[in-house]
A and B are shown apart, each in its own frame.
Chain A
């Protein structure tokens, strides 16, 4: 690699890290309230894996910033930025109304996440390539979990209807998850990623059609979500309450340890 495009790389890492962080948080919020014990453990555990991925990526941001990647430094990135400094997409910020939406989102997110990591396995930026190898091992299991659960549910007519409805409500947010940020051209150019995130779209559309019998509307990437315009510098309305839940203890006592 000739040179690292530092600004673009920082944005790129934050976009992935923030997605992983918020997705992990949303999954872990099902602990204790999922419909049955086994799934309660499974989804929260997958959420923990996603939080682990976020930590790996925040560590790389620390290194770019010339900051020692201590717990405090990672927390500062995870919890301490202003809303406009996050680079998450709307799908991971979205407050799902029920279990069906949570499962449909899990399926969509992990399908895309697995591809995102695979684009990084041969990264010219070695620390990212190393992180991708580790994350990909976990992702193959996450996808297996999502597939098995959805397969089981699609066999039941009521569950099928609920999943279809959940899918319809999430569909407008898929574009934002898959959209390549303006920084990605440089990232691909430098060999940091082998393809832009948007390269996932044809494959994802095919999977969704096969699985749910839903055809994504043509050009859905060009009809961005109205809240964020698929722009990762914009936050949706669900971001603030989500961050408030995550910061609940910090907001009471900044020095608290637990």
Chain B
């Protein structure tokens, strides 16, 4: 038995999304089982199954160092805070400059 990851895609512009995993003895059975385990209510129009052994996996240490870099989160909160401070100071020129 091998573990397979199942991805489904609906018609249209949606991308393939991970649906879950299953155990199967070989590739053909994985595809057949995916149909029953994840598409029996036509949840997708296309299916990929990938043997987990064929995934290229980065470990936690490889991913971890990027966990403390809030400046890479583009939620706009730093800019918004700065603009609020300028607005409250009543410095119109500074605000115009900020917009340009």
Q: Which residues of A are in contact with B by a Cβ distance under 8 Å?
A: 36-39, 41-42, 45, 141, 144-145, 148-149, 151-152
Contacts and interface: CB of A to CB of B under 8 A. Distances in A.
A152 B25 contact: yes
Contacts of B23: 36, 38
Interface stretch (B26-34, B62-70, B72-80): B26-34
A148 B36 contact: no
Interface residues of B, number: 13
Contacts of B29: 148-149, 152
B33 A38 contact: yes
Contacts of A141: 32, 35
A37 B1 CA distance: 13
B37 interface: yes
Nearest to B1: A36
Contacts, number: 37
Contacts of A45: 36, 40
B32 A42 contact: yes
Contacts of B33: 38-39, 41-42
B32 A148 contact: yes
B5 to A, nearest CB: 14
Contact of B26 (A36, A37, A42, A152): A152
19 contacts: A38-B22, A38-B23, A38-B33, A38-B37, A39-B33, A41-B33, A41-B37, A41-B40, A42-B32, A42-B33, A42-B35, A42-B37, A45-B36, A45-B40, A141-B35, A144-B28, A149-B29, A151-B26, A152-B28
Nearest to B29: A148
B35 A38 contact: no
A144 B31 CA distance: 10
A232 B41 CA distance: 35
A146 to B, nearest CB: 9
Contacts of A148: 26, 28-29, 32
